[in-house]
Structure 1
Amino acid sequence: MLKLDDWVKQMTRQTVQKLPFQAENAQQWEEWRDALKSKLAELAGTFEEHRVELEPETVETSDLGDVIRERVVLTTSPGLRMPVYILRPAQKQGRLPVIAALHGHGYGSKEIVGLHPDGSEMTGDPGIHRSFALELARHGYLVVAPELIGFGERRLEEDEGKPPKDNSCYRLTAAFMMAGGTIGGFRSYEARRAIDYALQRGDADASRVGCMGLSGGGMVCALTSALDDRIKTAVISGYTNTFDDSILAMRHCIDNYIPGILEWAEMPDMIGLIAPRPLMIEAGENDRIFPLHGTRKAVSVLQKVYRTAGVPERFEADIFEGGHEIHGTVSYAWFDRWLGERGGE
């Protein structure tokens, strides 16, 4: 008889994917991409039926000297409002390339724009997020950083008095699944709505759009970039792996799970839907929740996807000395390469 642990591993590992990446030429790759993209949209949910007028309201503006930081509130679903931060370099004029910055687990969008949970300016250690939205603005980008549902100011009432890094993921995920959707799909939908708002602004260049996310935000970045062709390049940090080696190998937040996905594909297949658009992954050698051996398996699959698509130069992996955190050293230059004024050269 098998131990329960071994039986569960056997069950998931013996699940036969119907759409793993097996293409041998460009035509097969395109057919695979279209089929899996459609299935992913079905499994995660696109939530387009929730689309309403955004009704943007600017509630706060701060001049940081080199960056202007605005806080805007948008309507994403009937009766539901979402705060987002907009950051732009103070000295840059004209239309700027746009990057959607997606935070992971923590205290929400404040954590990536240089603020403490109480809204005061961050000092000292910037934590695993490294204030990456603020850093991207300093590199010349118009950055939109939505508060993902379940975090920060968007927690359920029962969680509002808890420590800032506590979240409402469990109950929200259960509610979405019972209603036939996923919280990841809804977060991706809201990220797309944040991009909609950014592109309506007079200071945005709609032809140059990127996306970057860490951990749970990396998952949302992967989903959003896979489903939204407006995104021309992506950086996924602290997430790219296999399901088998990461979220099925240890306890992860329930918001990482897409019911039924293993029937169709593994994680690198899902992420591979971003091809042929440029993709960089960041992975810390000592990331304990998305371990390196799983990342290396995913990198191997993604390299094959990009080679088959005929654009191997559009995929890179930055395996850095560190843990579960933003690196930025290579990825900011990656955005410059593909979204700069001479992007793609």
Structure 2
Amino acid sequence: MPKLFRKIGPALLAGLLTLPAGAQDYQRAGVADNMPVFQQALKARLTFPMAWTPQVKDLPAWRSAGRAKLWELTLQAPDTTPFQPQVIAEIDRGSYVARQVVFNLSADSRVRALLLVPKAAGRHPAALMLHDHGGKFDIGKEKAIQPWGDTALDAARLASSQAWADKHFSGRYPGDALAKRGYVVLAVDALGWGDRGQLTGDTQQALAANAFNLGSSLAGIMALEDTRAAAFLASLPEVDARKVAAVGFSMGAFRAWQVAALSDDVKAVVAANWMATTEGLMVPGNNQLRGSSAFNMLHPGLLRHMDYPDVASLAAPKPALFFAGAEDRLFPAASVQTAYGKMAKVWRAWGAQDKFDARLLPGGHVFPQAEQDAAYDWLERQFAQTPADGGLRAPR
């Protein structure tokens, strides 16, 4: 008898050779549809213990704890680097001027941004325009604000951005449309876009992995930089700091409600076409499962604590407007409605149900002129009644 068999023993060996057929079953594959085959077990563990529930009595404490956890998971250190802005170019656009301004976005990055400023005297409401992803990296800030076009590079970006506006925004620039209404508007490239790129679809994963290798996080860098951009905008002498909004489409919408949750400088949020529950997004065929582009919106471990609508709810009771397209294939309508319902309960708990507006509208993954105008009308109504404390009061 071989040495191994003598060691096991004849009786035990006989038992092993006569196991029931079912006992020989094992996982013959580990991955299906880019998901582990045990995905349902993992999903069952996502209980979101830091989500708001009716048992929450101290709303400011709940919000503070949620914000602290989100900051922790961004892997970013606090940053109070002086902005040290410098205007390097300016053109006249009728009722407002467009500027190229360079400033310290963080301790690590000095960037060129686009800034629109009304000519009228005094302080003005303001909007931080947060650009989308779209798999299009040659332009970032130029998706929201019309670029110059006086150099070969700018001319190429102007053509590219106009095509993007035609596809998603009814042919106009959302930032310039808001500037015509008397708003100061700021747009900055996210890491990998425009001046700070260019990424490609394939290199996103490498950038995200290397950010982790450096003890950081791609999504965390974006979150920190957006809060810094909001602080810079609120600090400008032309801006009424009580009336600063974050406005975004697609990934920009994610960024808008995230920065509203993280930053006291943001007083209101308009988010078009990025909101749903994790359960509704993690389904076969959904864009969320494809990997690379999702890294900009994935904080390690976040979903062990909060779902996406829970994070957005940390912005309450600030005025918040959400749009979704009923035919948007990226965000299933049923999941969107579930997320809206969850958030509505939080604003209601604050006694601020009149500050929360969530709309499921006909159409797909676009932010057309009619929706822009509706959003800007809504924003003006909110800022017309802004209290002195910026709307962060706890319910009585």
TM-score, length of structure 1 as denominator length: 0.87
Match of 2:54 in 1: 24
Sort the Cα spacing of 1:201 and 1:152 in 2 relative to 1 into closer, same or farther, 3 A.
same
Output the amino acid matched with 1:89: P
Q: Does the aligned pair in 2 maintain the 1:184–1:220 contact within 8 Å?
A: no
Q: Does the aligned pair in 2 maintain the 1:128–1:325 contact within 8 Å?
A: yes
State whether structure 2 residue 276 is matched by structure 1 residue 246: no
Match of 2:77 in 1: 47
Sort the Cα spacing of 1:19 and 1:35 in 2 relative to 1 into closer, same or farther, 3 A.
farther
Once residues 294 and 184 of structure 1 are traced to their aligned partners in structure 2, the CA distance between those partners, rounded to angstroms, is 23
Match of 2:109 in 1: 80
Match of 1:172 in 2: 207
Question: How many percent of aligned residue pairs carry the same amino acid?
Answer: 24
Aligned residues: 335
Output the amino acid matched with 1:329: D
Match of 1:226 among 245, 261, 278: 261
**Equivalent residues in 2 for 1:9-158 (5 A)?**
9-24=39-54, 27-49=57-79, 51-78=80-107, 80-90=109-119, 92-105=120-133, 106=136, 107-115=139-147, 118-120=156-158, 126-129=166-169, 130-155=172-197
Q: CA RMSD in A?
A: 2.6
Match of 2:364 among 323, 333, 338: 323
CA-to-aligned-CA distance 1:294-322 (integer Å, 9 cap, x gap): 11110010111111121111100122222
Match of 2:300 in 1: 259
Once residues 187 and 75 of structure 1 are traced to their aligned partners in structure 2, the CA distance between those partners, rounded to angstroms, is 14
Match of 2:220 in 1: 185
- Note the residue ranges of structure 1 that are not aligned, 5 or more in a row: none
Match of 2:309 among 237, 245, 268: 268
Once residues 183 and 43 of structure 1 are traced to their aligned partners in structure 2, the CA distance between those partners, rounded to angstroms, is 12
Sort the Cα spacing of 1:328 and 1:173 in 2 relative to 1 into closer, same or farther, 3 A.
same
CA-to-aligned-CA distance 1:264-318 (integer Å, 9 cap, x gap): 0111111110001111111111111122121111001011111112111110012
Once residues 184 and 63 of structure 1 are traced to their aligned partners in structure 2, the CA distance between those partners, rounded to angstroms, is 35
Match of 1:311 in 2: 352
- Note the residue ranges of structure 2 that are not aligned, 5 or more in a row: 1-25, 392-396
CA-to-aligned-CA distance 1:107-136 (integer Å, 9 cap, x gap): 211111124862437657533255211111
Q: Does the aligned pair in 2 maintain the 1:17–1:263 contact within 8 Å?
A: yes
Match of 2:376 in 1: 332
Q: Does the aligned pair in 1 maintain the 2:51–2:307 contact within 8 Å?
A: no
Q: Secondary structure at the match of 2:290?
A: coil
